[in-house]
A and B are shown apart, each in its own frame.
Chain A
Amino acid sequence: MNKYRADLHIHTVLSPCGGLEMSPIKIIEKAVKKGISIIGITDHNTTRHCNLIRKLAEPAGIFTLMGAEVTTREEVHCLSFFENDDQLSDFQLYLEKYIIRIPNDPEKFGFQVVVDENELIIDDIEFLLISALDQSLEQVEQKVHSLGGIFIPAHIDRPSFSIISQLGFIPDNLQIDGIEISANCKKDSVLPFIGQHNTKSFIRSSDAHYADQVGKTFSTFEIEHCSFNEIKMALQGSSGRNVTIA
């Protein structure tokens, strides 16, 4: 087994709240500098930068987990990851179908631009990506799992947009593959709110919106090599794989 540092919650320039410097190239540069081997690309309710980042990350020796940070109807943020392009594009269609379309005002919320490998803007998303999907937490979870994906409630300790802030506690029968807590959160502080999920793997991530935050917080995956399935096994704690947090 080998140990790899993973930062599974990174926004790009496509997220309205993401810094303009958060281009695919810059994110990879920063990850390399911080010794991160696995990056999770999780823009708000869109996956449109994932393919480019994976393409650029590979030669740099970085594995990309492609996904999104989804906002459910209850305004719970959840990380969702997919193994291949077909699943990812299926999920992208789902996001575009159900997001509540509110026009973006870049002056208020920030720009939402898709760039190419030369950092040229190739698209500008007109509807606000930080609004919610008209889908419940359970519906999003079922969609992610129907595509073989990984589903992780994000920053559950946060006082806003977290499963605990919005829903009070994690429902026992919700199918989740892990639990994300923020950089300074003590695991014990969330235990009263997670019921039977206390045996799930915990991850910590940067939730980077600016370049300096990439890789600042990470989880350590003990796996054979970097792949979607190895990461999934580590989250399940199966076959000797595991995830640890500082």
Chain B
Amino acid sequence: MQVQDIIKILNLEVFGGSGGLNREISGGYTSDLLSDVMGHAECGNIWITLQTHKNVIAIASLKELAAVILIKGNIPDADILEHAENEGIPVLGSKEEAFELTGKLFNLLTR
């Protein structure tokens, strides 16, 4: 499944990084501790977080993640979007909380 597929199904907003919408999703990772994501997320994962700091993109890029979904209607800090465009990593938004969104994504990816 590609990032653009889940955007449609989960009705996600695209904040930036649209160059990476055809990235393939290998799985998901939900965490708000960036040190934890650095240590444990895997290449191609889609990352669900409420953090909006610009380090989110640096770490998504470092770990070669498929995309980032910001939850609870959080808006990314302005400097995130510039990095997202440069790195081609989609930054997406959802109004839902981590629990609901993670559950839906889990069902989609393991179906």
Contacts and interface: CB of A to CB of B under 8 A. Distances in A.
B48 to A, nearest CB: 16
Interface in A133-184: 136-138, 159, 164-169, 171
A136 B36 CA distance: 20
B54 A168 contact: no
B33 A165 contact: yes
A137 B33 CA distance: 15
A74 interface: yes
Nearest to B33: A165
A167 B34 contact: yes
Given A74-B51, A74-B53, A137-B53, A168 B77 contact: no
Interface in B6-53: 32-38, 51-53
Contact of B35 (A138, A166, A171): A166
A99 to B, nearest CB: 18
A164 B35 contact: yes
A64 B83 CA distance: 42
A236 to B, nearest CB: 25
A167 B60 CA distance: 12
B55 interface: yes
Contacts of B38: 168
Nearest to B79: A138
B58 interface: yes
Contacts of B34: 165-168
Contacts of B105: none
Nearest to A165: B35
Contact of A136 (B53, B58, B59): B53
Contacts of B58: 168-169, 171
Contacts of B59: 168
Contacts of A169: 55, 58
A177 B53 CA distance: 20
Interface in B84-107: none
A74 B50 CA distance: 9
Contact of B54 (A73, A164, A171): A171
A232 to B, nearest CB: 27
A166 B53 CA distance: 10
Nearest to B77: A136
Nearest to B55: A167
Most buried by A among B32, B34, B37, B58: B34
A74 B33 CA distance: 9
Nearest to B54: A171
Nearest to B59: A168
A125 to B, nearest CB: 26
A20 B37 CA distance: 38
Pick the most buried of B32, B38, B55, B59: most chain A CB atoms within 10 A of its CB. B55
A192 to B, nearest CB: 11
25 contacts: A74-B51, A74-B53, A136-B52, A137-B53, A138-B77, A159-B35, A165-B33, A165-B34, A165-B35, A165-B36, A166-B32, A166-B33, A166-B51, A167-B34, A167-B51, A167-B53, A167-B55, A168-B34, A168-B35, A168-B37, A168-B38, A168-B59, A169-B55, A169-B58, A171-B55
Interface of B: 32-38, 51-55, 58-59, 77
Interface of A: 73-74, 136-138, 159, 164-169, 171
